[in-house]
Structure 1
């Protein structure tokens, strides 16, 4: 059976000083383990998506700290350590320092959101002088 750990992830990613993420595709599902180091609203990273929001479904579990989303209707939902969650499309993630969670996202939806987010992340990194190991920022 497939499994994911921080040591075995096929796609370890980092945004130094902000977050670390370990991701693996398992057929129709993408599993990620994320740990956040700062409080940060991720709205700028979804610019260009429908309604500038994440359009993916997520199932997950908060390991430590908290993880929040702002729903399309503006309501903020916060999930705490020990909470399992189901998130519908039409939300913006809000990172919390010290939060760690595991999320399961349909792979096709994860790829669509990554295509929207990556140019925004690269531009943000360049604007703030953040070096992203293994990635190039736009000129």
Structure 2
């Protein structure tokens, strides 16, 4: 598949109002539609990964809201209208209801999703 919509992309994980829909887009890349309600903090679900942080790179665009990205180098704030690159080693926290689209390598992101799902169960 080379394109998808939020409605058509399968749910990779959901819980506490958060939802991540993900679809393979071709090659080794995938696209994700992410919704985090205000207060969603992914740090607890990332515990157990190296440095307790997501180790997958992401390229994307913030559609709505504000998000704090926690990294070993310090926190960064992203808000609606910004394109971004998140290097490996981060944990997002929604400061407001957030929606964003991101693109990332399938294998790395699938590893992170599997870990997050195991932490959520």
> For the Cα contact (< 8 Å) 1:43–1:92, is it kept in 2?
yes
Distance 2:94 2:25 in 1: 25
Root-mean-square deviation (CA), in Å?
Answer: 1.7
Cα deviation, residue 36, structure 1 = 1.7
**For 2:109, what is the secondary structure of its paired residue?**
helix
Q: Give the aligned partner of residue 136 of structure 1.
A: none
CA contact (8 A) 1:67 1:79 kept: yes
Radius of gyration: which is bigger?
1
Distance (Å, rounded) in 1 between the aligned partners of 2:95 and 2:24: 25
1:117 & 1:6 partners in 2: Cα distance?
20
Q: Which runs of no fewer than 5 residues in structure 2 stay unpaired?
A: none
Is residue 2:102 matched to residue 1:103?
A: yes
Describe the SS at the equivalent of 2:81. Answer: coil
Once residues 114 and 64 of structure 1 are traced to their aligned partners in structure 2, the CA distance between those partners, rounded to angstroms, is 22
Structure with the larger strand share? 2
Q: CA deviation at 1:82?
A: 0.5
What is the TM-score normalised by the length of structure 1? 0.78
Deviation per CA, 1:34-83, whole angstroms, max 9, x where unpaired?
A: 1122312211101110111110100000001112211112x111111100
**In structure 2, C-alpha distance between the alignment counterparts of 1:60 and 1:118, rounded to whole Å:** 22
Gaps of 5+ in 1: 123-139
- Contact 1:67 1:101 survives alignment (8 Å): no
**Superposition pairs for residues 51-62 of structure 1, below 5 Å?**
51-62=51-62
